[in-house]
Chain A
Amino acid sequence: MIKNISNLGDAAVYCDFGIEVNKSVNSEVIKYFKALKKENVESINNLTPSYNKLIVSYDLRKTNFKEVKKLIENLNVNETEDDNSTKIEIPVCCDDQFSLDIKTLEKKLNISRDKILENFFSKEYFCYMTGFIAGMPFLGDLDENMRVPRLETPRVKVPKGSVALTEQFANIYTFESPGGWNILGNTPVDVFDNSKEEEPNLINPGDIVVFKQINLEKYNSYNDK
């Protein structure tokens, strides 16, 4: 449920689902996101779901805070069909040339490389949100013993395809970008394909992701197929 609705500036509604960040709170956010998307309201120009917030921005030339707030309050979210979230397998290579922060992770977590990989590849991850850069998925939750803070000094350039960890989340850098997450490996898959107008994102909020470890040979030949 939405705990509080307020304005974010004069052209957006800020829906707060509470301070906790977990799958059930985020599922609520996504439920509202999907229901509003389905409504396809012409004056609403963007919806941004995140861990525990939903920001609904609108064209101030066509509507205002009061109207959009009312629309959200009267939204029938229960009628939205239970999301059949897609399960997506992402191949990841953890060869030394890709796992740039494995030594840091071993040190910070005090777990061996093999155990880190074993843990990481044994779980299913839930996509809380996508964004920051186009298509970047925020996936959770990592086990308690796998959680590390951001790098003290962020990299100016994180290679495209990097799979990285911070706190309870894993993410994938969809293109080269600055970033401060701890890099574990690299995927040969295009997680964001800007040549696709319809579904540029491979992973969407609410989807389930499993990572599958591949060797360097497989990584190199992945895009030949």
Chain B
Amino acid sequence: MINNFEIIRAGVNTTFQDQGRNNLYHIGIPFSGAMDNRNYSLANKLVGNKLNSPVVEFAYQGPHLKYSGDKINIVVTGDVVFKIIKSGIEIDGNCYESYQIEAGDEINLISTNKSVYGYLAVGGELNLKFQWNSCSINTKANIGSNNGKKLEDGQKINILNINSDQSKKKTNYINSKVENIRVIKGPNFDYFSDEGKKIFFEKEFSVSKLSDRMGMRLEGPKIENVVNTNIKSEGLLKGVIQVPADGNPIIMLSDHGTIGGYPKIGVVASVDYDRLVQISPGSKIKFKEINLSDAETLFKLYEMDTQNLLNQI
């Protein structure tokens, strides 16, 4: 029996993602991986997969899929409006609740709600190519499964094995919205004028439409550089906020270029990364300064919270 999903509509930016790739920055390959790590882990747990299993990640509009094969559990995480179609009858889907589907059923992931990324996990093993221990698709470098390209209409997602445990799993989780993103000062913080520094931590910025898995571009009051608008190119990380000559900050996200030459005004605290990536274009964002030790403590608490959520499933 071949178990697979036919992609009726692929969606805007639908890829396979997992925990990402390590130890490749020095050759120019970024981390990649699921953008929102908490929702990624929850998705896998809710269908009984190992936490680092591949999932389908989508942005804004997700895929519309038709299933054929043996009965299988699926779950959607994030803040997603979706329908499950069983013998022509549409059911409104709830996120964080697994559904058993069978041959002929369809899943229509209509859109993410005031957020960017959603996740579809399938209770079983997807048939995917791994590169450097990860299936994560990086569409800029064409690395990962599906030849490093986003999914397209008409393609099939093949499933190798289906999990035997098909009990229904459910959890109550509400994605918290944050307008304040906590930031640790970067090594070039003093490149900016006093007024620029003040603007950075006090004013609102809006997320530009030009944001993607590589970076989030912001628009707002200009942050004036008084030292040098270029630095000697050096490494980047996800969460690093660069300010190029035009004064508009760019936040590096999971598929970022590994080296950059713009001054680093700050770095987003790890505790806020999952929430940061979910801020959609047009929304407002405000930065709040945090020191290293508070950032470390808050991340520990956030991780404990994630563990508790997973343990409850």
Contacts and interface: CB of A to CB of B under 8 A. Distances in A.
Interface of A: 6-12, 14, 16, 21, 33, 45-55, 57, 60-61, 64-65, 129-136, 138, 174-175, 177, 192, 194, 197, 200-201, 204-205
Those 10 A-B pairs whose CB atoms lie nearest each other, nearest first: A48-B235, A9-B267, A55-B235, A131-B28, A131-B258, A131-B259, A46-B25, A10-B295, A134-B28, A50-B234
Contacts of A134: 27-29, 141, 143
Contact of A194 (B23, B141, B186, B235): B141
A25 to B, nearest CB: 10
A48 B259 contact: yes
Interface of B: 22-29, 31, 131-132, 140-143, 148, 184, 186-187, 232-237, 239-240, 257-260, 264, 267-270, 292, 295-296, 299, 303
Given A21-B232, A134-B29, A10 B267 contact: yes
Nearest to A40: B23
A12 B237 contact: yes
Contacts of B187: 6, 8, 14, 16
A49 B26 contact: yes
A181 B176 CA distance: 43
B290 to A, nearest CB: 9
B142 to A, nearest CB: 7
A198 to B, nearest CB: 10
Given A134-B141, A201-B27, A10 B299 contact: yes
Contacts of B186: 8-9
A57 B30 CA distance: 12
A3 to B, nearest CB: 12
Contacts of B236: 48
B132 A9 contact: no
B259 to A, nearest CB: 4
B142 A47 contact: no
A194 B234 contact: no
A47 B25 contact: yes
A57 B25 contact: yes
A206 to B, nearest CB: 11
Contacts of B240: 8-9
A51 B24 contact: no
A48 B258 contact: yes
A9 B232 contact: no
Contact of B267 (A8, A33, A64, A132): A8
Contacts of B269: 9-10
B217 to A, nearest CB: 15
Residue of B27, B131, B303 with highest tally of chain A CB at under 10 A: B27
Residue of A52, A57, A136, A138 with highest tally of chain B CB at under 10 A: A57
12 contacts: A46-B237, A47-B26, A48-B26, A49-B235, A55-B234, A60-B296, A64-B296, A131-B258, A132-B260, A197-B131, A200-B27, A204-B27
